[in-house]
Structure 1
Amino acid sequence: MLPRKRGRPTAAERAQRRDEILDVAVRLFVAGGFRQVTLDDIVAEARVTKRTLYDYFGDRTAIFLAAVERRRLRTLDQPTESDTLLELATKIVSGLHSDEAIGLHRLLVTEAHSFPDLAEGFYRDGPQAYIAAIATRLPEPDLDLAHSVFTLLLGEPHRQRLLGLRPAPTREEAAAQARTALRHLGLE
């Protein structure tokens, strides 16, 4: 973390600070569990005040969901109209098989029954948003087909990642997995 200067931060400094707080929160959540990590833990580790946390996010659930949203934005990398279905699928495989995404997913599976609002937000801001993005790249927008694409993009490799049985794929491995999934559905 960079030392903080006095005065009002610029937009870039606020964005960087937000990312630093999210990095800390994700690390703490993944290591200790959602239930065990308090706002005080995040405040202490991120070296911010509670007021700063509330200004940026609100409560613990909002922090977690901000991390899910950030992962989605980084994964989709601001897709453009010119992105092909294969390019989007490759980004999804890479992003959702990353260490951060796997950590968040494991955490959610563990905590979903105790925090249904967290589970609902995770699904809305995660899988549902990816499926919607896929649907926009299909020859004919079709949510059922987009669900099938998403399912195949995760598939057995994702389960193995969740279980710690394989490392995150390289970009080339992600592209191969995406290509195979699309080919199985007649989309490549």
Structure 2
Amino acid sequence: MTGPRKRGRPTETERAQRRDDILDAAVRLFATGGFGQVTLDHIVAEAHVTKRTIYGYFGDRTEIFLAAVDRLRRRTLEQPPADTGLLALATGIVSALHSDEGIALHRLMITEAHSFPELAREFYRDGPQAYIAALNERLPEHDVDLATALFTLLLGEPHRQRLLGLRAAPGRAAAARHARMALWQLGIEDGS
């Protein structure tokens, strides 16, 4: 954030930016401290907002975490317009899920799933399951098993290496190569 906030009612753009600032702060804290150790007070301090602001946007930590998952999914699935091909969507998924934010959320969920099983279910529904559904919609013949296999290949060994900190996030060209290879391995036309 830059400088103090102006007084008065924020514009929609300012509200959206403040929401993103809160989510960015929460993801940073969750990634370094774990879900169970991060309190709303920590998020308030990191985001430079009040608890009232947090409650106005989200509510509790669970809602903040799920909002971060939702934001990543929306950015990914809304990025390529619905009329673009499967390759564009697959590339977007590789870029998002191999990104620092995607990896941080995934690591966090793996660590916390046992302690927070309902959060894990919601993460899966709003994350992987939503990506699989989006891929399925773009397949020439809707086939959820094929969409699931494609999603698995879009993560693959490079995603495991990212989770372990052994590889950097791919650039757009590398993400497109990864997506193209996954489509090729399944014999799927890219729809470009």
For the aligned pair, the TM-score class normalised by the smaller chain equals over 0.9
**What is the match of residue 69 of structure 1?**
70
Aligned-partner residue type, residue 83 of structure 2: S
Structure 1 residue 80: deviation in Å?
2.0
Task: List alignment gaps of at least 5 residues for structure 2.
Answer: none
Task: List alignment gaps of at least 5 residues for structure 1.
Answer: none
Answer yes or no: is 1:40 the counterpart of 2:41.
Answer: yes
How many residue pairs are counted as aligned between the two chains? 188
Answer yes or no: is 1:158 the counterpart of 2:150.
Answer: no
**What is the match of residue 87 of structure 2?**
86
Distance 2:109 2:37 in 1: 13
**What is the match of residue 17 of structure 2?**
16
- SS at the partner of 1:173? helix
Distance 2:31 2:82 in 1: 34
| TM-score where L is the length of structure 1 | 0.97
Aligned-partner residue type, residue 131 of structure 1: I
Distance 2:150 2:69 in 1: 20
**What is the match of residue 180 of structure 2?**
179
| TM-score where L is the length of structure 2 | 0.95
Aligned-partner residue type, residue 149 of structure 2: S
Structure 1 residue 122: deviation in Å?
0.8
- Cα RMSD (Å): 1.0
Aligned-partner residue type, residue 168 of structure 1: A
Distance 1:103 1:78 in 2: 21
Structure 1 residue 94: deviation in Å?
0.7
**What is the match of residue 26 of structure 2?**
25
Structure 1 residue 142: deviation in Å?
1.4
Aligned-partner residue type, residue 139 of structure 2: L
Structure 1 residue 44: deviation in Å?
1.2
Deviations 1:72-102 (A, max 9, x none): 1222234423210011000000110001110
Distance 1:119 1:84 in 2: 30
Distance 1:60 1:13 in 2: 22
**What is the match of residue 104 of structure 1?**
105
Decide which moves more: 73-82 or 16-25.
73-82
Distance 2:9 2:183 in 1: 49
Distance 1:146 1:45 in 2: 39
Structure 1 residue 144: deviation in Å?
1.1
Aligned-partner residue type, residue 187 of structure 2: G
Distance 2:52 2:112 in 1: 26
Contact 2:80 2:88 in 1 (8 A): no
Aligned-partner residue type, residue 116 of structure 2: F
Answer yes or no: is 1:142 the counterpart of 2:140.
Answer: no
Distance 1:39 1:59 in 2: 7
